[in-house]
């Protein structure tokens, strides 16, 4: 079965919106594009504009300094009509022209001017870096995905690309439906962000997830979902991961272990899951918890009209059985205390959990673990972790969930999911 990520979230269609924000991008462009004077003493002595355009260039520079962008362009246009212009003359004209057009928000015209400036071959190494960044930003902000990639790669090769730049390259590949390169550059962006001490952007994982989903490759989705959960711990991602993991599980014991994670992470979103979990809990002689699960499903409005009769019938049955368990708690407690093995103490803790008595639940299970001789050690640690999480004792919850992986012959699927839950519980 293929799970579409459209059900969860689709990455934003515009790369500059998803990654940097349009306002920030334009500010970056203007900063990067600010032209130096064509007459600056900083220029090499061999780099001087021709006298034939000195008048127009001086006027253009003054207009730029005064914010008179249209006047600057008029003077630059006049300069271009002169004959005998050198490559440096043209580079200076185009560089000023690019800046003025960007100030007028004529991004395509600004882009064309900067590209012509680079084509002259007269651009200094410093200005080439600045212009390339500006062209990269313009291409991204105008959905020119291939040009965004080309300029971005040039920046990456030159060592000037930031983690954010790499993320824009990845998203550009995603927009071009090139999933192979989307994954490559997403991974580069994630690695660069972590190296810089920054949190990777969620969209980088969502690009890869959508590609895997579109290809119907559920197994490729699993590690990406794990990365997403470690990043943001969202119920949406838990839901998708657990649906994938659960569909191939045939053992009722392991299925119930998966449902417990699904329930506790808020990832259970359909009535049939609540019903199946409740039935499995009933089969495991935990009717009070089964009652709680069904009541939550009903109060959340997840039980449809076709399911209501069956659900009510199950609920009434669990209520009757739970009442019997409640009346027998004192006797079960006494028997558990007398028994040298830990099995009854763990069972007592699970029953307490079903009634919402988390303090006694944790105490009973801890006592059982000390006695040892427990049939389902995985359930003992899971219920201990769940009780501690309900008590907001997250360090002890993490410790309990983390112990699941140490149990011999534990299902690899169950072990992996509880290790992940251990890392994220309480966040």
Write out the two tokens for 105: 């928000």
Model confidence at 47, pLDDT cuts 50, 70, 90, reads: confident
Over residues 52-66, the mean pLDDT reads 94
The backbone torsions φ and ψ at residue 47, rounded to the nearest 5 degrees and listed phi first, read -100, 85
Assess whether pLDDT exceeds 80 at residue 89.
yes
Over residues 365-380, the mean pLDDT reads 94
The pLDDT tens digits of the residues spanning 15-41 come to 333 444 444 444 444 444 456 655 543
The predicted pLDDT at position 427 comes to 84
The predicted pLDDT at position 9 comes to 41
The predicted pLDDT at position 4 comes to 45
The predicted pLDDT at position 22 comes to 44
The pLDDT tens digits of the residues spanning 212-267 come to 999 999 999 999 999 999 999 999 999 999 999 998 889 999 999 999 999 999 99
First to last CA, the chain: 31
Choose among 415, 309, 397: nearest CA to 353: 397
Write out the two tokens for 214: 């579109």
Place of tokens 């300029």: 151
The pLDDT tens digits of the residues spanning 192-207 come to 999 999 999 999 999 9
The predicted pLDDT at position 36 comes to 61
The predicted pLDDT at position 310 comes to 93
The pLDDT tens digits of the residues spanning 296-329 come to 999 999 999 999 999 999 999 999 999 999 999 9
Choose among 73, 93, 84: nearest CA to 51: 84
> Would you give the DSSP letter of residue 198?
-
Assess whether pLDDT exceeds 50 at residue 128.
yes
The predicted pLDDT at position 273 comes to 95
Write out the two tokens for 2: 């293929």
Outline where 300-342 has alpha helix (H): 305-327, 329-338
Assess whether pLDDT exceeds 60 at residue 163.
yes
> Would you give the DSSP letter of residue 119?
H
Share of the chain above pLDDT 70, in %: 89
């Amino acid at each position: 079965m293929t799970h579409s990520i459209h059900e969860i979230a689709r990455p934003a269609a515009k790369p500059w919106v998803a990654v940097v924000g349009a306002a920030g991008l334009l500010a970056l462009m203007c900063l990067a594009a600010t032209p130096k004077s064509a007459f600056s003493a900083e220029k090499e002595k061999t780099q001087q504009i021709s006298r034939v355009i000195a008048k127009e260039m001086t006027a253009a520079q003054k207009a730029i300094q005064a914010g008179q962008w249209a006047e600057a362009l008029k003077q630059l246009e006049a300069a271009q009509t002169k004959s005998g212009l050198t490559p440096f003359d043209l580079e200076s004209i185009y560089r000023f022209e690019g800046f003025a057009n960007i100030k007028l928000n004529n991004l395509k015209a600004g882009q064309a001017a900067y590209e012509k400036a680079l084509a002259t071959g007269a651009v200094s190494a410093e200005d080439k870096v600045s212009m390339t960044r500006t062209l990269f930003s313009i291409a991204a902000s105008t959905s020119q995905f291939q040009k965004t990639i080309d300029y971005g790669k040039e920046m990456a090769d030159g060592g000037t690309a930031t983690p954010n730049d790499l993320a824009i390259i990845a998203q550009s590949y995603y927009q071009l439906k090139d999933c192979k390169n989307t994954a490559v550059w997403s991974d580069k962006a994630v690695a660069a962000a972590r190296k810089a001490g920054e949190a990777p952007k969620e969209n980088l994982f969502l690009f890869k997830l959508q590609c895997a989903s579109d290809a119907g490759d559920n197994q490729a989705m699993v590690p990406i979902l794990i990365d997403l959960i470690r990043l943001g711990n969202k119920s949406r991602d838990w839901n998708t991961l657990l649906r994938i993991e659960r569909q191939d599980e045939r053992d009722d014991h392991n299925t119930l272990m998966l449902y417990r994670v699904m329930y506790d992470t808020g990832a259970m979103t359909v009535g049939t899951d609540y019903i199946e979990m409740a039935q499995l809990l009933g089969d495991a002689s935990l009717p009070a918890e089964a009652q709680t699960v069904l009541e939550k499903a009903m109060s959340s409005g997840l039980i449809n009209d076709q399911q209501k009769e069956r659900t009510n019938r199950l609920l009434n049955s669990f209520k009757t059985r739970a009442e019997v368990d409640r009346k027998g708690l004192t006797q079960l407690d006494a028997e558990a205390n007398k028994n040298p093995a830990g099995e009854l103490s763990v069972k007592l803790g699970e029953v307490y959990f079903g009634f919402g008595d988390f303090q006694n639940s944790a105490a009973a299970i801890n006592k059982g673990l000390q006695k040892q001789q427990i049939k389902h050690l995985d359930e003992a640690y899971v219920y201990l972790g769940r009780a501690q999480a309900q008590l907001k004792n997250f360090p002890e919850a993490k410790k309990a969930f983390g112990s699941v992986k140490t149990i011999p012959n534990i299902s690899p699927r169950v072990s992996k999911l509880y290790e992940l839950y251990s890392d994220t519980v309480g966040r």
